[in-house]
Amino acid sequence: MSESLYVGVDLGGTAIKIGLCNASGELLRTHEGPTQAADGANAVLSNIATYVQELVAPGTPEWDAVAGIGIGIAGFLNIPDGIIEFSANLPFKDVHVKQIIEEKLGKPVKINNDANVAALGEAWGGAGKGISNCVCYTLGTGVGGGIILNDRLIEGYKAMAGELGHMAVVPDLEAIQCGCGKNGCLETVSSATGIIRMAEDAVGRGDRTALSLVEEPLTAKHVIDAAKSGDEVAQRIVSRAAYYLGKSMATIAIVVNPQRFILGGGVSKAGEFLFGQIREVFQKLTPAQAQEGVEIVAAELGNNAGVVGAAGLFLRA
């Protein structure tokens, strides 16, 4: 077997997903199993090794073709040394993941944070396939991001590049404090959490909105569906989320000038209703040359972005 293959591992708090990719970023097959985080770091690392060997049998030509194993992890990482320093949803403290998995499997290992890895997956094998410069947003509980320039994942000096949720975009008078301690961060308005907060505020204020009739806890989907049905209060909330996304992109357009913005995560499922508004703001706020040919599109890989991107760490990071 002459073509190199790459294994990607998406290490989550409840499940470990594994994928096998070729050098073009195509996902050949996947496998998964429980993380068993409660059993401790050693058990989790043994599970990773076991699941990898269940996906690709050691000793086969396919195993020999595996050129590297990439792992995406949520937490504070020492990326060059492959160490998890701390993770909120895993029992890991200063665990030498790279070294331990390399010893178990005899293949080179790289780790990186989950948001960067998902962005790399989309850029390499998803909505950014074939282009060299793109910026990915994940609109979920928070707003995550990842930046690929000249075909490479940008990590920055201390691996803080692409923290797009913490761009300060909301003007002081309207800004609220973010979980990071700063005011006016993008994720205070454009994450699912931000959308829910604005909706709860509106309901609490007694604004006339169908959202006040929802009996279960409000979700971003409730707000987006109400906006699509013509609820003006919900429309204002979604427009605000769209406005600050577009504004953040206008800034990114003149800082790194990507060819494509790729939006994934739950909120992005609002589809063209949301994307149309973001594009309008982006066009209004961005100097002409920095928006020429620039596209704002939906992510394509969904939950597979993590394993594809992790596999791509050996070619693109």
d(CA 119, CA 280): 24
Judge whether 61 and 7 are in contact, CB under 8 Å.
no
Which of 15/180 has CB closer to a copy of itself? 180
Residues with Cβ < 8 Å from 41, sequence gap 6 or more? 90, 91, 92, 95
* Paired tokens of 229: 């049905």
H-helix or E-strand spanning residue 281: helix 272-285
**Least distance in angstroms from the C-beta of 131 to a copy of itself:** 8
Which of 179/271 has CB closer to a copy of itself? 179
Which of 156/276 has CB closer to a copy of itself? 156
**Least distance in angstroms from the C-beta of 154 to a copy of itself:** 6
Measured in Å, how far apart are the chain's first and last C-alpha atoms?
24
**Least distance in angstroms from the C-beta of 117 to a copy of itself:** 17
Give whole-number Cα distances, 244 to 247, 315, 317, in Å: 5, 33, 29
Please provide residue 140's backbone torsions phi and psi, each rounded to the nearest 5 degrees.
-125, -135
Which of 107/166 has CB closer to a copy of itself? 166
The structure tokens 């073709």 sit at: 65
H-helix or E-strand spanning residue 149: strand 143-149
Q: What is the dihedral of CA 92, 95, 99, 103, to 10 degrees?
A: -60
Rounded to 10°, the helix 114-125/305-316 angle is 80
H-helix or E-strand spanning residue 313: helix 305-316
H-helix or E-strand spanning residue 222: helix 220-228
Summarize as ranges the residues that interact with a copy of itself (CB under 8 A). 132-133, 147, 149-150, 152, 154-164, 166-168, 171-172, 180-182, 247, 250-259, 285-290, 292-294
d(CA 240, CA 62): 50
**Least distance in angstroms from the C-beta of 60 to a copy of itself:** 35
Which of 185/220 has CB closer to a copy of itself? 185
Which of 132/229 has CB closer to a copy of itself? 132
CA-closest candidate to residue 299, choices 258, 257, 259, 271: 271
Which of 111/220 has CB closer to a copy of itself? 111
**Least distance in angstroms from the C-beta of 177 to a copy of itself:** 12
**Least distance in angstroms from the C-beta of 135 to a copy of itself:** 9
**Least distance in angstroms from the C-beta of 140 to a copy of itself:** 18
**Least distance in angstroms from the C-beta of 24 to a copy of itself:** 22
H-helix or E-strand spanning residue 297: strand 295-298
Which of 152/228 has CB closer to a copy of itself? 152
